[in-house]
C-alpha cells in the first residue's frame, strides 16, 4: 500500500508528533485524528494523578483538553506548529480512576489565530470538563520537528 499523501499524511504525522512528546511517557495516552478539526485522546486516570481528596488533579484536565483542542486546530494547518495562547476550562465532575476520552474540535480561524474546544468524557458518556483555547501560528515549521513523520 502506498504511503498516504496530502491531508491524510498530515494527520498521521500529527499523531506521530503527539506520540513523540516526552510528557506522554509520564501521562500515558494515545491520539486519533480522524479528520481535520477533530482529535480524540484516550487515557487512563490513575491514583498517581490524584490530589489529596482522591480525584484527578486539575493538571490532568488541562493537559488533556489543551492537547485535544490543540491537535484539532493544528490539523487545520499543515505548515506550522501552533502555540497555545490561552485556555479556559470548567470542571463539571471529578475524574476518578479509569478510562477517559478528551475530544477536541476546531471552532474557528484559518490564518493566524485558531479557536478550539475540548471536553473530557467519562465511560458513561457524561462530561467531566469543558474548555476553550486559542492557538496561534508559530515560526516553527512542522517539518522541522523530528516527531512529525507521515506514516507515524
Among residues of the chain, what percentage have pLDDT more than 90?
Answer: 91
Residue 5 in this model has a pLDDT that exceeds 70:
no
* pLDDT value, residue 42: 98
pTM above 0.85, yes or no: yes
Q: How confident is the model at residue 151 (pLDDT cuts 50, 70, 90)?
A: low
Residue 117 in this model has a pLDDT that exceeds 90:
yes
Q: How confident is the model at residue 2 (pLDDT cuts 50, 70, 90)?
A: very low
Alpha-carbon gap, residue 107 to 110, rounded angstroms: 10
* pLDDT value, residue 75: 98
For the segment(s) 6-144, the CATH number from 3.10.129.10, 2.40.50.180, 3.40.720.10, 3.30.1330.60 is 3.10.129.10
Alpha-carbon gap, residue 119 to 72, rounded angstroms: 12
* pLDDT value, residue 1: 34
- Give the tens place of pLDDT for each residue, 42-88: 999 999 999 999 999 999 999 999 999 999 999 999 999 999 999 99
**Domain definitions of the chain by residue range:** 6-144
* pLDDT value, residue 7: 86
Amino acid at each position: 500500500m502506498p504511503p498516504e499523501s496530502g491531508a491524510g499524511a498530515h494527520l498521521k504525522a500529527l499523531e506521530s508528533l503527539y506520540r513523540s512528546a516526552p510528557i506522554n511517557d509520564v501521562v500515558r495516552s494515545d491520539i486519533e485524528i480522524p479528520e481535520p478539526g477533530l482529535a480524540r485522546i484516550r487515557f487512563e486516570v490513575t491514583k498517581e494523578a490524584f490530589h489529596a481528596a482522591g480525584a484527578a488533579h486539575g493538571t490532568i484536565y488541562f493537559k488533556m483538553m489543551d492537547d485535544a483542542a490543540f491537535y484539532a486546530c493544528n490539523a487545520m494547518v499543515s505548515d506550522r506548529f501552533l502555540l497555545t495562547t490561552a485556555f479556559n476550562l470548567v470542571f463539571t465532575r471529578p475524574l476518578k480512576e479509569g478510562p477517559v476520552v478528551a475530544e477536541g474540535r476546531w471552532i474557528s480561524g484559518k490564518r493566524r489565530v485558531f479557536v478550539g474546544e475540548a471536553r473530557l468524557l467519562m465511560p458513561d458518556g457524561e462530561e467531566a470538563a469543558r474548555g476553550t483555547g486559542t492557538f496561534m501560528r508559530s515560526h516553527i515549521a512542522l517539518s522541522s520537528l523530528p516527531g512529525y513523520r507521515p506514516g507515524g
